[in-house]
Each structure stands twice: as C-alpha cells, then as structure tokens.
C-alpha cells in the first residue's frame, strides 16, 4: 500500500515548489523573460566566474577516478580543512576540519543536525516567520516543532513567548538569520540574550539545549547591518550552511554542517553524521562540487545587486 503519511502530504504540498513548477511550465509557453518567479530563493546573480573556471580546471587536470570516485562519508578532507580555515579567518572561530561535515545543501546539513542532537518525540523550537519547509524537515526527524509567534515590531525574537514555551522536552532551538522570509538579521544583542537563556535553561533542565543555526543567507548582509556569527556566542551551536546563495549554486546541493569545537560532544556529533546518512538515503555530497567549493569558499557572487534591488523597491 502506498505510504499514508506521504500521500496525505500531497494535500499540503510545499507551496514554494508548486509555484516554482508552475513558473517553469509557464516559461515554456510565454518565454522565461516574461516570468517573474518569486517562489524559490533562486539567485538573480550568476556564480562568480571562478566557480566555472574551477570546475573546468578540476575536470581537466584531476585523475577522473579520484575526481568522480566515492568520497569519505564525512566529506573530502581537503574541503573540510579549507572551510575550517576560511571560517576561522573570517569569524575568528577555531574550527578544525574534524568539526565540518559536508552535506547536500543546507537541507542535507539540517537533516543531519536535527537527527544528531535530538531524539524522536523531542520538541524543537523556532520563531515566526520561518521557512515553510521546517515543518516537514523536523517531522522527518520525529520532532515536535513549536513556532514562537513573531515580535511584529522588530522581527527579532519574541523572548517572552520563547521563555514561556521552553521546557524539559526542548532539546534544540532552530534559528535562521538572515531570515527567510522576513529578511531580518538577528542583532548581537538578540543572539547574546538567546545564548544567555539557553545556557540558563540547559543548566535548569540538566541537558544541553543545542542551537541549530540555519545560515544559507549569511553572506547577504546589507551595509551597516549588525550581523554576528551566531556560533561565536553559544558554544553548543550547529551551523548549517549552503553555497546556494553566496556563490549562486542552489541546484548543485552543496553545503556543510559546522559544529562548534567546544560544543558538548562535538566529536561524537560529527561521528554519528555518516550513520544518519545511511538511514536517509544520503552518501556524501557530489565530489566535483566538494572539490570546487574547497577552492572558492572565500568568494561570493556580486551580492551587491540584492542591496540595489532593496533600495530600488523602497
């Protein structure tokens, strides 16, 4: 018999993908230039030319057996090393390669983060407005997702509602800053207050409350905006990143999970990630893309375009 859960999900399909599918179909009829598709966060600026140059260089110079062969479950070591070095230089963090797990986009990274630090039946808390896919993402890990109502004045965190909700069954909190869909960036003050509460409540409940920070939009920060690197303020942070927006590669499904080196059970969290992969049909990110991002992780697309767009629409 067809699966009941997934069949019932057809009644509440992902509205984002529905619109995207429709736009794709319509583009064939009326021409792509006549479609303004605001569904997915598909970049409007191309990947920097170094990305395609790097792909071609890898393909033309590496042994194809090594290039296209299976990569280690944790990801290619050179890629993990380069990402750790890049993060440490940019944010003053102290990641080692062993803190980085390569994943198929932020969706893949989140799937591992959710499953690593929670058990089925646990509660995970996030904040409105939030990415609509968090519901199926967390449901797949057997979690109860609680969405805290928005602070509609600032779209920072509604701390009163958050503190009232936190309970012994809460084992993880999920944030997304810069936020999809609001565009808001959580301030240093917000992150510090969040960290203080999580530290206090972890102590009170006798178990760590892990912070899962979903950061695909991390590099799209407009001038003058206070945009702290979340993990620097709370050690029990699992940072989920994708190269989708920073270098405009959403279709290539490449990202990573970075576990703070001082996180409780940091090594074990990474160690169990390949075990998680085995149960959810994953087996590493595409090797050519892993090797490519190793070389270009310090580049971005011309992200200034997004700021210009914002100014022009104000």
- Whole-number Cα distances in Å, 32 to 16, 22, 28, 37, 181: 18, 12, 7, 9, 24
Q: In this structure, what token pair is assigned to residue 15?
A: 């509205």
Q: In this structure, what token pair is assigned to residue 5?
A: 């859960």
**Residue closer to a copy of itself, measured from CB, 148 or 285:** 285
**Residue closer to a copy of itself, measured from CB, 109 or 258:** 109
Element (H, E) at 29: helix 15-30
**Residue closer to a copy of itself, measured from CB, 39 or 165:** 39
**Residue closer to a copy of itself, measured from CB, 104 or 184:** 104
Residues β-bridged to residue 172 = 124, 210
**Residue closer to a copy of itself, measured from CB, 118 or 156:** 118
Q: How far is the CB of 90 from a copy of itself (least distance, A)?
A: 23
Element (H, E) at 185: none
Find the angle CA(142)-CA(115)-CA(109) to the nearest 5 degrees: 120
Q: How far is the CB of 161 from a copy of itself (least distance, A)?
A: 25
Q: How far is the CB of 138 from a copy of itself (least distance, A)?
A: 9
DSSP letter at 101 equals E
The Cβ-side half-sphere exposure at 96, using a 13 Å CA radius, reads: 7
**Residue closer to a copy of itself, measured from CB, 225 or 305:** 305
Sequence-distant (6+) residues with CB within 8 A of 65 are: none
The residue whose two tokens read 């991390």 is 218
Pairing of strands 100-103, 123-127: unpaired
Pairing of strands 100-103, 255-259: antiparallel
Q: How far is the CB of 159 from a copy of itself (least distance, A)?
A: 25
**Residue closer to a copy of itself, measured from CB, 225 or 280:** 280
Q: How far is the CB of 27 from a copy of itself (least distance, A)?
A: 10
Q: How far is the CB of 219 from a copy of itself (least distance, A)?
A: 16
The residue whose two tokens read 């529905």 is 18
Q: How far is the CB of 171 from a copy of itself (least distance, A)?
A: 6
């Amino acid at each position: 018999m067809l699966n009941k859960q997934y069949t019932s999900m057809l009644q509440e399909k992902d509205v984002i993908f529905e619109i995207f599918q429709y736009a794709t179909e319509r583009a064939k009829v009326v021409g792509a230039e006549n479609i303004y598709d605001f569904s997915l966060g598909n970049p409007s600026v191309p990947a920097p030319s170094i990305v395609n140059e790097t792909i071609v260089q890898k393909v033309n110079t590496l042994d194809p057996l090594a290039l296209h062969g299976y990569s280690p479950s944790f990801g290619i070591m050179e890629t993990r090393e380069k990402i750790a070095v890049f993060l440490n230089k940019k944010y003053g963090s102290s990641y080692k390669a062993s803190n980085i797990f390569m994943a198929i986009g932020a969706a893949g990274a989140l799937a591992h983060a959710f499953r690593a630090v929670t058990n089925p039946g646990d509660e995970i808390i996030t904040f409105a407005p939030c990415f609509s896919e968090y519901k199926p993402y967390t449901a797949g890990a057997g979690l109860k997702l609680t969405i805290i109502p928005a602070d509609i004045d600032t779209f920072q965190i509604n701390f009163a509602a958050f503190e009232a909700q936190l309970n012994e069954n809460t084992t993880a909190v999920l944030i997304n800053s810069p936020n999809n869909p609001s565009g808001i960036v959580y301030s240093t003050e917000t992150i510090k207050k969040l960290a203080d509460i999580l530290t206090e409540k972890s102590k009170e409940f006798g178990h760590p409350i892990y912070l899962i920070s979903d950061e695909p939009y991390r590099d799209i920060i407009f001038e003058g905006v206070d945009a702290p690197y979340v993990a620097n303020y709370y050690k029990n942070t699992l940072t989920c990143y994708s190269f989708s927006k920073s270098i405009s590669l959403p279709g290539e499904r490449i990202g990573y999970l970075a576990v703070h080196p001082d996180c409780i059970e940091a090594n074990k969290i990474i160690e169990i990630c390949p075990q998680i992969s085995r149960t959810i049909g994953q087996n590493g990110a595409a090797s050519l893309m892993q090797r490519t991002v190793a070389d270009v992780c310090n580049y971005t697309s011309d992200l200034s375009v997004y700021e210009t767009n914002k100014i022009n629409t104000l």
